Amino acid sequence: MHNIMEILSLVLVSSLTIHFTQAADKHVYSYPYEFIFRDAKKTWWQARDDCRGFKAELVKVDSADITKMLVDNYAGDPHLWIGASDVVEGQWIWMDGSDASYDANWTHNQPDNYGGYEDYAIIFSNGKWGDLGGESLNTFVCQKGPVYSNMYELAFREEMLNWTDAKVECEKANETLAKIDSADLNSLITQNMQSKVNRWFGANDIELEGGWKWHDGTSVPFRGSTQYQKW
Ligand SMILES: [Ca+2]
Ligand SMILES: [Ca+2]
């Protein structure tokens, strides 16, 4: 009986552990970036390395849009690490070395370099910043972008052209009309269609009526196909 209890408690402990370590990261797509709200508390340096594991960096809060996105998606922690630091005291820089002082939105009495060692920036739920020592544990936001940087970049062209001319325009710029072959890409494009209602993309049945193809010659899946299509 004792053994059974022991086994049961082990099973309970291990299932709790599995539950506890399942990351509930939040991904926010805002063209051309992906922001990852990590469900983990880390030192600033651990957070930086964690982001790099996603081929990302700690978030660069260099626009009102990004500040708003952070505030809107705030997970409820008191503050989040961002990618600004002043290892050289008073010279705040981003991960890419660019000047962060113009973007800074310090809250009252910050940065105060309290204790002489606060060299890393946090953002509060109201969008204001503070400085903290790098060893304190905080959740953080990684920024990855352009979202599909290892595959392609999207360009939204505003000229009104017929399909053939649009294709030629793209080719002149070493681009192709979009091949929308995933739900992610379809929603990324529709989210970022700001001005005009309709846009050309790369599907066509020029060669054979009903034989829809992409520019690279591969077939556009038929309605009802298990491959991505949205007829
Ligand atoms: Ca400092
Ligand atoms: Ca401080």
Model confidence at 228: pLDDT above 50 = yes
- Output DSSP code: residue 22: S
184 close to 228: Cβ distance less than 8 angstroms: no
Residue 46 tokens read as 């651990």
pLDDT, greater one: 99 or 148: 99
Q: What angle do CA 61, 63, 68 make, to 5 degrees?
A: 80
Ligand 2 center from residue 158 Cα (angstroms)? 46
**CATH number for the domain that contains residue 56:** 3.10.100.10
In a domain, 140, yes or no: yes
d(CA 188, CA 184): 6
More confident residue, 146 or 215: 215
- Which domain-ending residue is among 124, 144, 164? 144
Report the C-alpha gap between 212 and 208 in whole angstroms: 8
Rounded to 5 degrees, φ, ψ at 41 are -100, 125
- Please tell me whether residues 139 and 167 are part of one structural domain: no
**Residue 40 Cα to ligand 2 middle (Å):** 22
18 is written with which tokens? Answer: 């599995």
17 CA to centre of ligand 2 in angstroms: 34
Place of tokens 């595959």: 151
Residue 150 pLDDT: 41
- pLDDT at position 146 is 61
In whole angstroms, give the CA distance from residue 131 to residue 81.
Answer: 10
Distance (Å) from CA 122 to ligand 2 centroid: 9
Domain identity same for 139 and 176:
no
- Domain end marker among 144, 173, 202: 144
* Residue 92 maps to a domain: yes
Last residue of a domain, one of 101, 119, 144: 144
DSSP 8-state secondary structure symbol assigned to residue 170? H
126 Cα: distance to centroid of ligand 1 (angstroms): 22
Residue 152 is predicted with a pLDDT of 59
* Cα–Cα separations (whole angstroms), residue 23 to 39, 41, 187, 226: 6, 11, 24, 29
State in Å: Cα 70 to ligand 1 middle. 23
CA distance 99 to 49: 21
Query: Which ligand approaches the C-alpha of residue 88 most closely?
Result: 1
Cα 42 to Cα 120: distance, rounded to the nearest angstrom: 13
- Rounded to the nearest whole angstrom, what is the distance from the C-alpha of residue 105 to the centroid of ligand 1? 15
Q: Could you tell me the pTM of the whole model?
A: 0.57
Ligand 2: distance of its center to the CA of 138 in Å? 14
Higher-confidence residue of 149 and 58: namely: 58
**How remote is the CA of residue 88 from the centroid of ligand 1, in Å?**
8
